[in-house]
Amino acid sequence: MQIHHTGYAPDSVAVIGSGSKVDGMLQKRLQRAGFRVQLLNADELDQLRSGAIVVNAICLGGSETMDGALQACRTLAASETGPLVHISSYRVFPGGTRKRYDEDDEPAPNSEQGEMWLACEEALRGRAGVTTLRFGWLVDRNEQALLGRILAGILSGKSLELDDQSRGSPVTLTDLCRVVVAVVQQLASGALQSGTYHYGAADACTAYEFGREVLERAQSFYDEDFGVALSPLPEAENHSAVLASEKLRDVFGIQQRSWRQGLTRQVELWLERLGSTK
């Protein structure tokens, strides 16, 4: 049997997942790129292949899994594997500013969830070869995330009030996987660029701006009007947290994409998932 050699060294990647949708997406994207992939949970870290690149996606499971995620990070900090790519979040910053956060800005979370994201980063800080990727808010993760909540409201015929003060850097799961796989490919090709990097959409927006775009895409699938009104949330506080992504571009050559790219397909899939019968 002919063996296909990708040229990657190592060619083995372990994805530490939390049972969320992104676990399988990362696994498939990495396999298509030519890697041998283990998909492990927090209780299976003793099965890590020696020398494998580790993609630590366990924090993406949400607030209910963060205690287990912190313990997994502590275990990974003491493990003897290859480079480790740790997925983190903009939530390590307090927000509330119109400036963009870059990698030199000091984290100062002002929420319990943000403190847990930062604790996971700090648990890995003493480990060699860690590449931390902080992403903007994820728009299509679950029904409690913004995209699912907006579409559920639209289908129920309820008018929605959305924050039009706080700007963020949306990231789709598809785009997150693209960025992670691109970083893994370069690490497996000899790049020695550990450190912290930010990634968010090329075009920042508020929840209200995002919602208007989602309503327009959803409306395109129907002949009649939803009869739903979107309006800015009155007296909303500014919790803006836009990420600067130039460092990732300059070091890894990874270009930003618009959150609008592929949005129509995401909306279509969510409408099917929510059982639209309108």
59-114 pLDDT, tens digit each? 988 777 788 899 999 999 998 888 999 999 999 999 987 789 999 999 999 899 99
Between CA 90 and CA 61 the distance in angstroms is 15
Between CA 50 and CA 71 the distance in angstroms is 20
Between CA 103 and CA 134 the distance in angstroms is 9
b/e burial code for range 39-61 (CB count within 10 A of at least 16 → b): bbbbeebeebbeebbbbbbbbbb
How far from the centroid of its chain's Cα atoms is residue 186's Cα? Answer: 19
The amino acid occupying position 260 is R
The amino acid occupying position 176 is L
Strand bridging mode 130-135 / 100-101:
unpaired
- Is 26's pLDDT higher than 80? yes
* Mean pLDDT value of segment 164-191: 93
Whole-number pLDDT of residue 62:
77
* Mean pLDDT value of segment 191-201: 89
Q: How many CA atoms lie within 13 A of 228 on its CB side?
A: 23
Could you please state the CATH topology (level 3) that the domain comprising 12-273 is classified under: Rossmann fold (3.40.50)
When pLDDT is cut at 50, 70 and 90, the band that residue 3 belongs to is very low
Among 120-124, 131-135, 149-153, 164-168, name the one with the lowest average pLDDT. 149-153
Q: Of 239, 162, 167, whose CA–CA distance to 208 is shortest?
A: 162
When pLDDT is cut at 50, 70 and 90, the band that residue 6 belongs to is low
Q: For residue 166, count CB atoms less than 10 angstroms from its CB and return exposed for 0-12, middle for 13-18, buried for 19 or more.
A: buried
- CB count in 10 Å sphere of residue 38: 17
- Is 246's pLDDT higher than 90? yes
